[in-house]
Structure 1
Amino acid sequence: MMYPGMMASSQGRKRKYLPRAPFGFWHATRYKSPRGCLLRPPFPLIRPMRPVNNRTGKRSAFTKTKKYKFRDVTVNHLKERQECPFDLLLTQDLLKRNFELVPERFSVGGLSYLVELVIRVVESYMLDPEPVEGEPVVATVKSVGSFEKRTLIAGKNVADVAVVFQGLPSAETINSFGKRIASQIMDFDSFFDVTCQMSDRGFNIVGHMATVRIIVCTIPANYCVAPPECHMEMKTLFSNSMAIGHARWFQQFAHHPAIRIIVRVMKDIKSRCKGFSSLNPWMIEVLAHYCVTTVPHSSPPISAGLAFLRFLMLLSSNALSPASIGFLDPCDSTTRIHGKLSLEEMNSIRQTAQFLLNLMAIGGHRLVLGLDKCSYDVTERGISLNGFSLERVAQLIDENNRAHFERYLYMLRNKKLPLDNDVNGQTACQSTVEKAEEACGSLPAEAAASSVPAEQMDVQDNAEKV
């Protein structure tokens, strides 16, 4: 007879098991396991490691997009929405517009070959056994941007390649490095007659049919020791390095084809609507990923047309406003994707999205997608369609009430805004603001100059000397 804990070949002594009282009701409801499996805990022995936002490469530095519940515009009645005939028509027109925006195979082939040549030449420069003195040391090279993410639009044959240096090269060093790369490309393939042009983020390899933008980065250890006379600002270097993380995140999580379709169509709408000019590609990609992937577990995957409609709904509902929780940056959990937008830019995004939704409500979705051409920007001048007249949406922020909005946001961020039912707190807050304005207005020039810290005065003097 075998007992728990005995091997097949063991000659263990037979033990007499005494009858024990049955386990209580709490055991049956919590564990729901037989008596022989009590030694196994009801939780996994090895807990998964949390993804940490580090740049060492040992663990995944990217997390999925933070999913917020905008129930008023995204989740309610989603199952019934699948059978809406307008969504089916919108999806068909969206796919048709996406087919028009996909670049031709010939242009993409030439751009792909030029990108491959640039990467091959830079890698051969990295493996050169006899490096030239004074030349920068390259740590790595990677293709980034719309070309790497496969969201390129027809008519824009431009690709991005990130080159990470181990040091902080100067502008002259980058210029000589770019000319050397261009000469080696022409030596490798005489068909390409390319030139090197300097830019704010690095340099460009310009050819007849395509252009490759080389963005210059450095390793994270150099951010703290960067000299003030560096060839470019630290913000530019940091944004260039973040482009590599954006490309990796998009390849890892944005695998759904509807995400690329929405990103490509929104880039085209951005080029036609002035109000969307402040939307950068990273914001569009994160929002498109949220609209496609954030669905209830019990509902089927949503269509591309409904995801596009949810995209405009989020923008029109002030999802990118200062008072909104917004969307966290998947590659940097300490910031939000709309943190650098001004009040006017946020207002223009909301205003344009609301106008486009109103235009789609009266049957103008083909005009929104770009299938029906228009000679002017309808979001700026309005339009008359199907017996309806749409005018430009009124602005919430202008020169008259801008100071009021800034004061409100400052008090909201510093947690000094009183509640609606707190009359005494509102009165005290208003009196405090009035006193502060009076004090700032009555402050003499000499006192204002003396109130500036000494360190700030030194920085201002040095800036004037430079």
Structure 2
Amino acid sequence: MARGRGRGGPIRGGGGVMRAPYKPKPTYVPRHPFDFILCEPAFPRVKPAPNEDAFTQALMKRNADLSPTPQEQAAVLSLVTKIQNAFDNLIVAPGNFDSCQVDESRQVGSFKKGTMISGHNVADIVVILKTLPTKECVGALGNRIIEDLKNAGAKEALALITNDRGFEISNTDATVRVLVTTVHQNLRKLDPEIHLDFRVVQSHLAAIRHSRWFEESAHHSSVKVLIRLLRDLRNRFEGFEPLTPWMLDLLAHSSIMNNPSRQALPINVAFRRVLQLLASGLFLPGSSGITDPCEGGNLRVHTSLTLEQQDTVCLTAQILVRILAHGGYKHILEGNSRLVTDTSVFNGVVVSPLDKAYEKPLDSKDGEGEEMDADNGGDEAMETVEN
């Protein structure tokens, strides 16, 4: 009697092992954390929003205290203009200068964006070379600019300091950091023994893209105010130090402009929203975070942070949200990291410090996981730019 045949061939003996049906690996889909501003239509208020005029006034006063004085702005603008003119003249008429060839120079950073903080009178200029950026040509270029400034009639004492990013020219009132890079077709020709570091050069090109995007998309005055407040928060709270200036720019822009009405939110609502988003896990693994508008491939800006840094940012924001919820905004605007590490009382409510959720594995060197991206548009190298 013939054996029965099933689909796929004859049935073998009864001793075979049945295989479990193939289950494809579920697709990884990053999620956006809960955001009350985006979900507000689904959660109508049962009572009017509380009056936050005092909070708004405190934020604006803090911004006024952080804003540079007219004298500081004039001092930085004067030095920037002189150096920019020197580069323009060098491009048009290099004369006997053959150490390198300058293609163009562009202003970037906080002074260009209008987010400079008082007491930090520093401006940034990116210089793009047609030639490869050797370490020797950086010093020669700096000396040439100093010479041209003196020939143009500069009377103040100028100091030149070279570093691994370019050079700095400063007087008694201001400093201009000249960040050296090269045209795109030269990037793969860089030799670390001879030229500037690849990541540094790449980050300077990214700074130009960031500046251009900011000028086109984030020029609203409220965005600039919030950036200044967030930079001040980062300077005072150690847990926010991993956040780069570019992350703060995108955080401020998204918190103010990303809402159903597409109109700028009030500064008090946007400031609270930043802390709530960070506290709810905007910059944690599995979150969609914020996509970098200047990089391809839907790159999320927070993936350049280590897992430990992501946890620290979230923990710090969670404590500040609790303090803010109980009326402690003055302490947030004027306090420091002790608010995060010490137990505090606000209006009879005890706010105690939180424990870290992430523990660094013993066999891990840097705490980085699958979420890490080692080439995130030069964010690590951008740490010193605009700080």
Equivalent runs, 1:133-212 vs 2, <5 Å:
133=98, 135-212=99-176
In 1, Cα distance between the equivalents of 2:152 and 2:45?
59
Equivalent runs, 1:351-370 vs 2, <5 Å:
351-370=315-334
Relative distance call for 1:395 and 1:348 in structure 2 (3 A) is same
Matched, 1:303 2:303: no
Matched, 1:324 2:287: yes
Q: Deviations over 1:434-460 (max 9, x none)?
A: xxxxxxxxxxxxxxxxxxxxxxxxxxx
Once the two structures are TM-superposed, the CA of residue 90 in structure 1 deviates from its matched residue by 2.4
Matched, 1:90 2:55: yes
Relative distance call for 1:219 and 1:400 in structure 2 (3 A) is closer
What are structure 2's unaligned runs of at least 5 residues?
A: 1-30, 373-387
Q: Secondary structure at the match of 1:204?
A: strand
TM-score (norm 2): 0.81
C-alpha contact (below 8 Å) 2:192/2:198 kept by paired residues: no
Relative distance call for 1:228 and 1:401 in structure 2 (3 A) is closer
C-alpha contact (below 8 Å) 2:133/2:182 kept by paired residues: no
Equivalent position of 1:395 in the other structure: 356
Equivalent position of 1:227 in the other structure: 191
Once the two structures are TM-superposed, the CA of residue 324 in structure 1 deviates from its matched residue by 1.3
Relative distance call for 1:96 and 1:179 in structure 2 (3 A) is same
Matched, 1:130 2:95: yes
C-alpha contact (below 8 Å) 1:320/1:326 kept by paired residues: yes
C-alpha contact (below 8 Å) 1:262/1:288 kept by paired residues: yes
Matched, 1:114 2:79: yes
C-alpha contact (below 8 Å) 1:163/1:214 kept by paired residues: yes
Equivalent position of 1:252 in the other structure: 216
In 1, Cα distance between the equivalents of 2:318 and 2:183?
42
Q: CA RMSD in A?
A: 2.5
Equivalent runs, 1:324-343 vs 2, <5 Å:
324-334=287-297, 335-343=299-307
Q: Secondary structure at the match of 2:100?
A: coil
Equivalent runs, 1:277-288 vs 2, <5 Å:
277-288=241-252
Q: How many residues align?
A: 338
Relative distance call for 1:284 and 1:129 in structure 2 (3 A) is closer
Q: Secondary structure at the match of 1:162?
A: strand
In 1, Cα distance between the equivalents of 2:94 and 2:64?
47
In 2, Cα distance between the equivalents of 1:137 and 1:145?
24
Equivalent position of 1:315 in the other structure: 278
Q: Secondary structure at the match of 2:260?
A: coil
Q: Deviations over 1:398-437 (max 9, x none)?
A: 246897xx79x65x99xxxxxxxxxxxxxxxxxxxxxxxx
Q: Deviations over 1:349-392 (max 9, x none)?
A: 0011011111111211111122xxx4763223342333233222
C-alpha contact (below 8 Å) 1:82/1:302 kept by paired residues: no
Q: Which of 289, 308, 315 matches 1:344?
A: 308
C-alpha contact (below 8 Å) 2:121/2:173 kept by paired residues: yes
Equivalent position of 2:180 in the other structure: 216
Relative distance call for 1:127 and 1:382 in structure 2 (3 A) is farther
Relative distance call for 1:220 and 1:384 in structure 2 (3 A) is same
C-alpha contact (below 8 Å) 1:138/1:165 kept by paired residues: yes
**Bigger mean CA offset, 124-133 vs 285-294:** 124-133
Identity, % of aligned positions: 29
Once the two structures are TM-superposed, the CA of residue 132 in structure 1 deviates from its matched residue by 2.4
Equivalent position of 1:46 in the other structure: none
Equivalent position of 2:341 in the other structure: 380
Equivalent position of 2:37 in the other structure: 74
Once the two structures are TM-superposed, the CA of residue 129 in structure 1 deviates from its matched residue by 5.7
In 2, Cα distance between the equivalents of 1:333 and 1:382?
44
Q: Secondary structure at the match of 2:189?
A: coil
Letter in 1 for 2:38: V
In 1, Cα distance between the equivalents of 2:131 and 2:95?
18
Once the two structures are TM-superposed, the CA of residue 95 in structure 1 deviates from its matched residue by 1.3
Letter in 1 for 2:248: I
**Bigger mean CA offset, 210-219 vs 168-177:** 168-177
In 1, Cα distance between the equivalents of 2:58 and 2:115?
18
Relative distance call for 1:180 and 1:397 in structure 2 (3 A) is same
Q: Which of 250, 256, 281 matches 1:292?
A: 256
Relative distance call for 1:112 and 1:300 in structure 2 (3 A) is closer
Relative distance call for 1:69 and 1:400 in structure 2 (3 A) is closer
What are structure 1's unaligned runs of at least 5 residues?
A: 1-67, 414-466
Once the two structures are TM-superposed, the CA of residue 308 in structure 1 deviates from its matched residue by 1.0
Q: Deviations over 1:238-294 (max 9, x none)?
A: 001110110010010012211111100000011100000011110011111111111
C-alpha contact (below 8 Å) 1:87/1:306 kept by paired residues: no
Once the two structures are TM-superposed, the CA of residue 171 in structure 1 deviates from its matched residue by 1.0
Which structure is larger by alpha-carbon Rg, 1 or 2? 1
TM-score (norm 1): 0.68
